[in-house]
Amino acid sequence: MSSSSDTDPSSNGMSTPDQLLSWREVLSIYAKPRVIAMVFLGFSGGLPFLLVFSTLTAWLRDEGVSRSAIGFFAWVGITYSVKVIWAPVVDRISIPFVTRRLGQRRSWILIGQTGIAAGLFGMAMVDHTELYLLSLFALLVAFSSATQDIAIDAYRIEAMQERFQGAMSAAYIFGYRVALLVAGAGSLYIAEYANWTFAYQVMGALVFVGIVTVLLIDEPESHRREIIASAESDSVHFGFINAVVRPFTDFFSRNGKFALVILLFIAVFRLSDIAMGIMANPFYLDMGYSKTDIANVAKVFGFFMTIAGSFICGILVVKWGIFRCLLIGATAVALTNVLFSMLSLLQPDIIWLAGVISADNISGGFAATAFVAYLSSLTNRAYTATQYALFSSLMTLPGKFISGFSGIVVDAQGYFVFFLVAAALGIPAILLVLVLMKREMRVSQSATDTA
């Protein structure tokens, strides 16, 4: 856990609302240099995601691959959900020569970016009919991207105090969404006017934006050296305990049995949007929208809606605290899937599409910002990378697994039923937010009574 100046111990390390700050002071957090730097790291983190997810599904559907086969490609994304397995390596193992020059976080970010570039160029060279080989290169991109995410998340949490994590996550999501715009709309534009091979070559070249960023930023101060001294002199057994076991035992010791409720909440929070995400682009294409329509409305217009939701949430986390923002985000995400089910019954209409996309992206940006801030507040800075990787892995694993069957559901029941099912998957998250809010109120009341 961060130092006492960064957290309120009365709330178990959770940041609390600061209602004494003026709105001008709250807004000024976005001008801090390290908050600005997170925009570029967010771009680096977001660029590869759609290229092995919805952009890839658009490519495959455009080439006539069946929806059932496309659905199974979602399992490539499970790589993001099991990154906790190698997170201790990223957290503690140094890379010869590179770590000495760049530091622990930047060196691993750079290694991940190298693998991403290699995988994207490999995907560009493979014929789309060679699904096995294409999936292997996609797996390389996903594995390298997940490795990069581990290091970036650790950098973000260590670079600023906890009270600024809402702004840090908002800045990260802004850069991430810019990258999604480039990898989503940009790839669709290029594919429309050139071809998919050239689109993936361009995306591979854009990885160098992230590489340059890593070379320019500074390594953050890490509290790990203060807490885990002389790590290089540890025995093999003690080193294993520190690297693998203690990040998990620390989390349970701080939260007790309630840790299981927290982990359950993390597992279900994003079920609704992840489950529907894999079928979004096939849905637009099957509805009769062109790739240009999808790029203009779902990607470009949707980008600005997402940024609006993220920006608003970043401010409200400081003003209201995390839990109310989590409740708003979870409810809105579930409801927007109902709007998609209604959209599936209509004839193609850009106005209706833009309306649903607006609601979906505002709620998605809002929910994602609140959730990243919440996950960041749970970490102990002695084990930043490993603990955050645990949370983010658990955050996506159930959704990724379920989304692998999404194509089968659509083929059997249609899009209307599919989106209603996706909406229903959001109900557990809403209920668990209420449970967390009730516990936080009890903890705060107890601290107040003690004081």
Report pLDDT digits (tens) over 236-274.
Answer: 444 555 656 777 888 888 888 888 999 999 989 988 888
Answer for the pair 112, 147: CB distance below 8 angstroms, yes or no: yes
pLDDT for 118-145, tens place per residue? 999 999 888 777 888 888 999 999 999 9
Q: Is residue 8 part of a domain?
A: no
pTM equals 0.64
Given a cut of 60, whether residue 229 has pLDDT beyond it is no
Question: How many separate domains does the chain show?
Answer: 1
Given a cut of 70, whether residue 399 has pLDDT beyond it is yes
Give the domain extent around 182.
34-444
DSSP annotation of 83 reads: G
Q: Is residue 427 part of a domain?
A: yes
Q: Is residue 103 part of a domain?
A: yes
Distant-in-sequence, close-in-space partners of 245: CB < 8 Å, separation ≥ 6:
none
Q: Is residue 220 part of a domain?
A: yes
Q: Is residue 13 part of a domain?
A: no
CATH assignment at residue 189: 1.20.1250.20
DSSP annotation of 348 reads: P
Cα angle: 370, vertex 325, 147; to 5 degrees: 10
Mean pLDDT computed over 73-100:
82
Q: Is residue 4 part of a domain?
A: no
By C-alpha distance, which of 327, 270, 267, 34 is closest to 165? Answer: 34
pLDDT for 283-320, tens place per residue? 888 888 887 888 888 778 888 888 889 888 888 887 78
Q: Is residue 261 part of a domain?
A: yes
Given a cut of 70, whether residue 16 has pLDDT beyond it is no
pLDDT for 73-83, tens place per residue? 767 877 877 88
Q: Is residue 25 part of a domain?
A: no
